[in-house]
Amino acid sequence: MAEAYAMTGDPALKAPAQNGVKVILACQNQDAHPSAAPIKGGGSSAVVTGLGWDYTGPSNRTDTSLTGWNVMALKSALAANLDVGQGMEGARNWLDKVWKHCNPDWAKMDPYTAESFFPYSWFTDVEQVDYINPAAICDTMPRNVRGVNFSCAGMVCAVFLGHHAGDIMLESFANEVVKNQMPTKYPCNTYYLYYNSLGVFQVGGERWKKWNAVVRDLLVNAQRKDDGCFDGSWDYQGTVFVGHDIGRVLSTVYCCLSLEVYYRYAQVAGGKK
């Protein structure tokens, strides 16, 4: 709705879009931990209390997947000149805090070779993380001792929260994705595919050329070409992400979104390599 208002300027869309933003902001988690960070330029008493979001409303748990969708929604609202309050500042607080927690040697990382980890969940009251159980993900997904890396959503959030080419967080996310999460065949995890395609496109450069050459042809060749009603869709069997059993509509949506990354958002991060 925010995108529709930004593109059309239809006054009938402004109030509903702003109300949607209000719901998002009302559901944003608050940082109850004593280490809450000051807002830049906000004065000595200004404190970022926001974090990310959880499915149940404000809680001590921040869900990376849901937070990624809300960050994109707020980014669209900003483009429409809607009031997003301190929603983006809170999300930046969450991203920075969790990334540094999961990558304690971040200050020593080489942006050309380092790879970042990012969790599925963050629990602010105890400052602990949780990774997706590898058993819940298809065999083509990367594994490590901590579970499945959710760097795909971390990378997209980093882009839309102001990180640019050369930034160690963004570069190390992109390095990890291109090295470890490049799909080799369809079916694959189409949820990861969309987030990764969006993020790597934003990073640009040689990594995007490499990613695009594989993913573009993989999706075009996997699209159904039938005389029947499945023509133009993508099969959902074997895509294996949480919710994949919703069926063909959702698998087709993710594949379409992956092929729309060229047009959906202008590149804001720039390309370093």
Q: Of 141, 136, 257, 112, whose CA–CA distance to 199 is shortest?
A: 257
Which amino acid belongs to residue 262? Y
For residue 142, what pLDDT is reported?
A: 43
Beta strands across the sheet bearing 121-123: 61-63, 121-123, 128-130
**Region 186-204: what's the mean pLDDT?**
94
Asked if residue 213 has pLDDT above 50, the reply is yes
Q: Residue 271: pLDDT band by 50, 70, 90 thresholds?
A: low
Cα angle, residue 253 at apex, residues 75 and 10 outer, rounded to 5°: 45
Which amino acid belongs to residue 150? F
The two beta strands, 128-130 and 121-123, are antiparallel
Decide which of 263 and 8 is more confident.
Answer: 8
For residue 127, what pLDDT is reported?
A: 85
Decide which of 146 and 91 is more confident.
Answer: 91
Asked if residue 37 has pLDDT above 80, the reply is no
For residue 147, what pLDDT is reported?
A: 55
How far apart (Å, rounded) are the C-alpha atoms in residues 153 and 112?
Answer: 20
Q: Residue 149: pLDDT band by 50, 70, 90 thresholds?
A: confident
pLDDT per residue as tens digits for the range 84-140: 999 999 999 999 999 999 999 999 999 999 999 999 999 988 888 887 654 444 444
**Region 201-207: what's the mean pLDDT?**
93
> Exposed, middle or buried by CB within 10 Å (0-12, 13-18, 19+), for 175?
buried
**Region 38-66: what's the mean pLDDT?**
76
Residue partners of 117: CB distance under 8 A and separation at least 6: 102, 103, 144, 146, 149, 151, 176
What letters, b where the CB count within 10 A reaches 16 and e where it falls short, cover 115-146?
bbbbbbbbebeeeebebbebeebeebbbeeee
